[in-house]
């Protein structure tokens, strides 16, 4: 019989190999031989996942849509999962946990158990926590059943934190230092409490990377306050839950002197306060909702939002509508990607060219939207959807070298734009056009040779 060379490897090497394997398979290695019996208890990365929704969310008193009533034994997999996680953490010993990934659906009555798992991870000096826990609970329960333990906020070893849960609140303690070593925070919140979002993102002294995804209700005003002296990358995505409110209100304030990249995606705009964004070099603005332009105060809010990006060198804008007067001067902008929809005149492109005198690279993408098409109708076939500028933008004369157009349908106004760009791009090296049917064409402008 050949030698078992894998079993001869040092413990730390075996633990490293097993750290890439889900926990349920890691534990099974204990039956391979005496050599493997306790290796699993020292693996630095623990990955637990249970996503059997129908079993966990069943109502013992109600049949499913097909008339079948779940029996008690149908919960055995879920109960087995809970017991398995208990066992792995109980036999952990003194070895540290580098990363704990827990993705599961559960019952509200499991809250205390999950609280114990979180505390166990922090007692083992966890460095990265990826927590995605969803539960089905009575919609009339006023408060989520579990608060994130205080040890999460005060831990000195925690560097990366990902949180997504519909029954765990994230409010930090009101006093004392929070997240002393945290550098990356990724949070998903649905219907947050009034002041929790103001506290959570303003108590991270060394945070460098922050991602926020939030569903915001219209019945109480939220304040998303980000104040982080070391923050370099910020991503914010907001979904508005509106139930008839005409003037939807929530606030976003950002104070980040070292911020280099800012990505914001919204359906309805908020009130904005931006401070110390002089380091911002790359930005992305996605106003993805077709009816968002009907919001009260849309123009004023759009102006405040776009002003934050006035110093960037690279900018992505996707919008159903932005008025000309909302745009600041983009004097440092060299690369622009613009996404337009059927509901929009291409005049935004003209205004951006005027406002970006040093632009070198331009990408314009046309995207379809069913709501846009229903609104505009036959207007799409009118050349009047784009007005020829009264004067040629400076960037076309002196800086713009490459242009890419994607999703082109060759509408009359699109043809009009293309001809104008080709004619007036004095330093244009290349224009590439991708039609909606997948065909593409490169155009190399002919210029008189220089003497």
Give me the pLDDT at residue 70, please. 40
Q: Is 172 helix (H, G, I), strand (E, B) or coil?
A: coil
Give me the pLDDT at residue 328, please. 93
Give me the pLDDT at residue 92, please. 82
Give me the pLDDT at residue 139, please. 47
Task: Give the residue from 285, 391, 283, 262 showing the smallest Cα distance to 332.
Answer: 283
Interval 309-334: pLDDT, tens: 999 999 999 987 777 778 999 999 99
Under 8 Å between Cβ of 430 and 404: no
Under 8 Å between Cβ of 220 and 197: no
Under 8 Å between Cβ of 425 and 445: yes
Q: Which residues of 266-298 are buried (b: 16+ CB within 10 A; e: fewer)?
A: bbbbbbbebeebeebebbbbbbbbbebbebeeb
Give me the pLDDT at residue 68, please. 39
Give me the pLDDT at residue 2, please. 60
Q: Which residues of the chain have pLDDT under 50?
A: 65-71, 139-140, 244-245, 448-451
Six-digit token string for 40: 């699993």
Give the predicted TM-score (pTM) of the model.
0.83
Give me the pLDDT at residue 262, please. 97
Interval 361-406: pLDDT, tens: 999 998 776 655 555 555 555 556 677 888 999 999 999 999 999 8
Task: Give the residue from 281, 271, 278 showing the smallest Cα distance to 312.
Answer: 281
Helices and strands of the chain, counted as H and E runs? 12, 20
Give me the pLDDT at residue 367, please. 79
Task: Name the one residue in this structure whose structure tokens are 């933008």.
Answer: 393
Interval 395-414: pLDDT, tens: 999 999 999 998 877 777 78
Task: Residue 386: count other Cβ atoms within 10 Å of its Cβ.
Answer: 21
């Amino acid at each position: 019989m050949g030698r078992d060379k894998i079993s001869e490897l040092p413990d730390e090497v075996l633990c490293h190999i097993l750290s890439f394997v889900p926990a349920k398979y890691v534990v099974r290695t204990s039956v391979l031989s005496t050599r493997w019996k306790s290796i699993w208890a020292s693996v630095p990365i623990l990955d637990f996942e249970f996503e059997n929704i129908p079993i966990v969310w069943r109502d013992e008193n109600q049949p499913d849509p097909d008339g079948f009533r779940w029996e008690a034994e149908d919960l055995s997999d879920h109960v087995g999962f809970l017991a398995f996680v208990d066992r792995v953490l109980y036999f952990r010993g003194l070895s540290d946990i580098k990363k704990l990934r827990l993705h599961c659906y559960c019952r509200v009555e499991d809250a205390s158990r999950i609280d114990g798992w979180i505390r166990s991870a922090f007692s083992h000096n966890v460095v990265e926590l990826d927590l995605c826990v969803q539960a089905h609970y009575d919609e009339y329960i006023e408060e989520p059943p579990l608060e994130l333990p205080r040890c999460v906020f005060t831990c000195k070893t925690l560097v990366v934190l990902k949180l997504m849960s519909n029954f765990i609140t994230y409010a930090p303690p009101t006093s004392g230092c929070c997240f002393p070593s945290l550098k990356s925070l990724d949070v998903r919140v649905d219907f947050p409490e009034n002041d929790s979002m103001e506290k959570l993102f303003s108590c991270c002294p060394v945070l460098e990377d922050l991602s926020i995804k939030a569903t915001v209700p219209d019945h109480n005003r939220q304040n998303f306050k980000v104040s982080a002296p070391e923050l370099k990358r910020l991503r914010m995505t907001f979904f508005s839950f509106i139930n008839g409110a005409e003037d939807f209100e929530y606030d976003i304030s950002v104070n980040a002197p070292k911020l280099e990249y800012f990505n914001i995606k919204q359906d309805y705009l908020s009130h904005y306060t931006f401070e110390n964004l002089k380091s911002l070099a790359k930005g992305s603005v996605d106003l993805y909702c077709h009816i968002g332009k009907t919001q009260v105060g849309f123009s004023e809010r759009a102006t405040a939002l776009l002003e934050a990006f006035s110093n960037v060198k690279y900018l992505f804008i996707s919008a159903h509508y932005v008025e000309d007067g909302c745009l600041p001067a983009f004097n440092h902008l060299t690369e622009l990607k613009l996404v337009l929809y059927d509901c929009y005149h291409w005049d935004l492109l003209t205004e951006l060219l005027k406002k970006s005198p040093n632009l070198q690279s331009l990408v314009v993408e046309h995207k379809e939207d069913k709501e846009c098409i229903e609104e505009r109708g036959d207007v799409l076939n009118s050349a009047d959807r784009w007005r020829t500028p009264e004067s040629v933008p400076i960037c076309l004369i002196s800086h713009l070298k490459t242009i890419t157009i994607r999703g082109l349908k060759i509408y009359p106004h699109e043809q009009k734009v293309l001809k104008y760009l080709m004619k007036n791009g004095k330093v244009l090296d290349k224009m590439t056009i991708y039609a909606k049917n997948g065909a593409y064409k490169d155009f190399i402008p002919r210029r008189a040779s220089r003497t």
